Structures are given as structure tokens and as C-alpha cells.
């Protein structure tokens, strides 16, 4: 289960971002590129969780010594990113408690772009569509009911392990990727 080492709440983060007398923390948003584009905290850099995990060796030198706040939709993916960074020796990051949902609920500003379904909504749609298709197919092919059972079992494992293979697969789909500069290059340029 994901364990947050340190968190910061929305109002405290807003105070830190508004304080011109001290340097602002580095905001790293670990949601997919299209989730980020749909709405993110101004100044945040998008480094999707899978990219963070794959490019950790490139990120460590760029992030070392920085005050890092990790952001996602609810705090779960940011917590996973925090554990990954802590395992690589960057144990000083904080997770935005309640994620972008609580940030916005508390009146926090968001830069908005193209609106798309959030990853968790995509997961619910994909899992529901596969179960529905399996149940309908089982009318003609009774063994198809096992596909529905497999999807249900996968969702149970996802809940128990706090990871989701379907979510990781959907995050890699072209509609959840953005072309352009590398997030690592952006972080290095902003140092």
C-alpha cells in the first residue's frame, strides 16, 4: 500500500506559491499529459508517473536539492511517485494532499487547456465496457463469462495492491500522450 512520507495541504501550498520572499517549490504533476493539459496548477511541470519511473536516473540529478511538491488527481499517483523518488535518495518531496481535486475545491487556480476524460474515468469506462461485452457474448458463448470474472478479479487486485494494470496501459495510449519537449528537458531548463 502507498505510504505518503510527507504532504502539504492546498492552502499551505498556495501561501508558499504566493510568498515572493522565498523560492517557490518545484511542482511536478504526475498525471497523464492530457489530464495535465485539461487543468493544472500554474507553474507545474508534467512528468507522468510512468515517465518518472522510467527516467528516474535522468531525473535525480535535475531534482536533487530542490523543494518538490508532487501533484496528481487525488494524491495516489503522487504518493507512488514520492515512494519512487525516496527510493532513489530524493526523500524530501511532498504530496499535495487531496490532489488537484482538493486544490480546485479550495479555490486554487488552474491553467486549463483541452478537456478530456481523466484516467480514472477511462478505466471505469474500459472495465465496464469489457464486462458488458463479456456478459452479452456469454449468451452465445457461455465461456465468455470468464472474461467478466477476469476483469472483476483484476479490479479487486488493483484495489488491494493500489496499482492498476489497466490504468498503466491506458496511460500509454496515444490519446493520453502529448508530443513535444521532454519533461526532463523542461525541468533542467527551469533550474
Q: Kindly report, residue by residue over 53-86, the tens digit of the pLDDT.
A: 999 998 989 898 889 999 999 988 999 999 999 9
Spatial contact of 87 and 5, defined as CB atoms under 8 Å apart: no
Beta bridge partners of 153: none
Sign of torsion, CA 10 159 91 73?
Answer: negative
**Is the Cβ–Cβ distance between 119 and 31 less than 8 Å?**
yes
Average pLDDT, the chain: 86
Residue ranges and CATH numbers for the domains of the chain are: 7-116+178-190 (3.40.250.10), 119-171 (no CATH)
Model pLDDT, residue 52: 93
Span of 128-137, 163-172, 179-188 with lowest mean pLDDT:
179-188
Written as nine digits, the cell of 117 is 476524460
Contact 188, 27 (CB under 8 A): no
What pLDDT score was predicted for residue 189? 59
The answer to whether residue 4 scores a pLDDT higher than 80 is no
Overall average pLDDT of the 90-111 stretch: 91
What is the pLDDT, as a whole number, of residue 181?
58
Distance of alpha carbon 40 from alpha carbon 31, whole angstroms:
10
Q: What is the dihedral of CA 82, 157, 167, 181, to 10 degrees?
A: 30
Residue 131: pLDDT above 90? yes
Q: Using an 8 Å Cβ cutoff, are 170 and 123 in contact?
A: yes
Lowest mean pLDDT among 53-67, 158-172, 174-188: 174-188
Structural contact between residues 37 and 31, judged by C-beta atoms closer than 8 angstroms: no
Give the C-alpha separation, 96 to 51, whole Å.
Answer: 19
Compute the average pLDDT of residues 148-171: 85
Per-residue pLDDT, 186: 63
Under the banding of pLDDT at 50, 70 and 90, the label for residue 37 is confident
User: Could you give the CA distance from residue 96 to residue 63 in angstroms, rounded to a whole number?
Assistant: 17
Amino acid at each position: 500500500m502507498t505510504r505518503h512520507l510527507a504532504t502539504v495541504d492546498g492552502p499551505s501550498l498556495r501561501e508558499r506559491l504566493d510568498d515572493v520572499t522565498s523560492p517557490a517549490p518545484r511542482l511536478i504533476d504526475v498525471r497523464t499529459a492530457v489530464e495535465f493539459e485539461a487543468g493544472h496548477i500554474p507553474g507545474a511541470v508534467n512528468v507522468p508517473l510512468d515517465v518518472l519511473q522510467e527516467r528516474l536516473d535522468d531525473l535525480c540529478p535535475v531534482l536533487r536539492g530542490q523543494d518538490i511538491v508532487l501533484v496528481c488527481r487525488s494524491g495516489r499517483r503522487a504518493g507512488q511517485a514520492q515512494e519512487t523518488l525516496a527510493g532513489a535518495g530524493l526523500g524530501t518531496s511532498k504530496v499535495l494532499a487531496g490532489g488537484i481535486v482538493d486544490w480546485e475545491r479550495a479555490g486554487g487556480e488552474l491553467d486549463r487547456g483541452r478537456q478530456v476524460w481523466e484516467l480514472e474515468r477511462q478505466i471505469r469506462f474500459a472495465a465496464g465496457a469489457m464486462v458488458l461485452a463479456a456478459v452479452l457474448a456469454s449468451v452465445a458463448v457461455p465461456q465468455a463469462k470468464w472474461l467478466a470474472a477476469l476483469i472483476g478479479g483484476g479490479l479487486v487486485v488493483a484495489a488491494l495492491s493500489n496499482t492498476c494494470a489497466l490504468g498503466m496501459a491506458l496511460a500509454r495510449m496515444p490519446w493520453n500522450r502529448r508530443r513535444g519537449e521532454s519533461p526532463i528537458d523542461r525541468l533542467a531548463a527551469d533550474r
